[in-house]
Amino acid sequence: MNLPIRPRRNRQSSAMRDLVRETDLNPGHLIYPLFLQEGGENTPIASMPGCTRWSLDGLVKEAGEAHALGVPAVVLFPRIPDELKTRDAAACFADDGLVPRAIRALKSAHPTLTIITDVALDPYNSDGHDGLVADDGRILNDETVAVLCQQALCHARAGADMVSPSDMMDGRVAALREALDAAGFQAVSIMSYTAKYASAYYGPFRGALDSAPKAGDKKTYQMDPANAREALREAALDEAEGADILMVKPAGPYLDIIAKIRAATTLPIAAYQVSGEYLMIKSASAAGWLDEAKIVHESLIGIRRAGADMILTYFAKQWSASWR
Ligand code: PBG
């Protein structure tokens, strides 16, 4: 064939492929979500094989190992004992609560590790929703935002570097920024769950924390999976309200959303490879149907290629242990 243009020339050797590779992935791009619980036990999570609900000691050790592999940040998800869950979710801002104690333990053991906390009421709420629930079942927006501010301040007092509102209430980024600044926490960053979809991919996570809603679903606050323009509207609002990082969640099934927000903002973008994405890879690999290491890498590269600067992934430590 008379073909002057042959794209395969750029793929002809490993060295050539290294030269033309467009997307890179290293442990510095990853954020490690960690589950924690009261008491001295480390409990394997049935719905998320390979993940554990850690005691404080276990958490400090696991976070330290990931950090030593180059992972710069962790994000914390607590399982709160049932007796502390109330309809006003007030345990979420107790200074002696599980999360503030974990922050202090992590900070003193690993001063260079960035500590991110989840800001939402669901682990503390007897109704299991991210917001306060009225008697008629409505999720109360403005009342919830006031509690989220108290929760974020509690995390900041304990030493959190970044708070990450996952609740999807309107106006919470501006309110959090104002509350943090007024209390002298100008340096605490906000990573906003900007486009968080009402997704069935969160199923295994809710199993891990016993945090499924007791009634109804999350569709009045989390986004409709059918919508993309609406994600740009949320992104514009979060940026205007002062978010430092915008997040898309889930990641793999929403690569188009990552790419669209990437094109619409100069802010850094995070994407959350959620529990269902993790479980699909783990279970298909355990059955011998997929090559786990290769699938993990490809799933993460795809998320980076779509435009995510950083990825929250349960594979953060595992992938970082074997990337070279
Ligand atoms: C709740 C929260 C959820 C996740 C992170 N924060 C679940 C939900 O919204 O129901 C899901 C994470 C995952 O599935 O890995 N604020």
* Residue-level pLDDT, tens digit, the chain, 324 residues: 999 999 999 999 999 999 999 999 999 999 999 999 999 999 999 999 999 999 999 999 999 999 999 999 999 999 999 999 999 999 999 999 999 999 999 999 999 999 999 999 999 999 999 999 999 999 999 999 999 999 999 999 999 999 999 999 999 999 999 999 999 999 999 999 999 999 999 999 988 888 889 899 999 999 999 999 999 999 999 999 999 999 999 999 999 999 999 999 999 999 999 999 999 999 999 999 999 999 999 999 999 999 999 999 999 999 999 987
Please report the pLDDT score of residue 110 as a whole number: 98
User: CB of 166 closer than 6 A to ligand 1?
Assistant: yes
- Choosing from 274, 281, 303, 314 the residue with most ligand 1 atoms within 8 A of its CB, the one to mutate for a pocket test is 274
Q: How far is CA 215 from CA 50, 122, 133, 137, 142, in A?
A: 30, 13, 10, 8, 21
Tell me if residue 184 falls in helix, strand or coil: coil
Q: Is the CB of 271 under 6 A from ligand 1?
A: no
Residues with catalytic annotation?
Answer: 196, 249
Instruction: Report the nearest-CA residue for atom 5 of ligand 1.
Output: 166
Burial of 49 (0-12, 13-18, 19+ CB in 10 A): middle
Q: What is the DSSP code string of 229-277?
A: HHHHHHHHHHHHHT-SEEEEESSGGGHHHHHHHHHH-SS-EEEEE-HHH
For position 209, what pLDDT does the model report? 86
Report the separation in Å between the CA atom of 209 and the middle of ligand 1, taken as the mean of its atom positions. 10
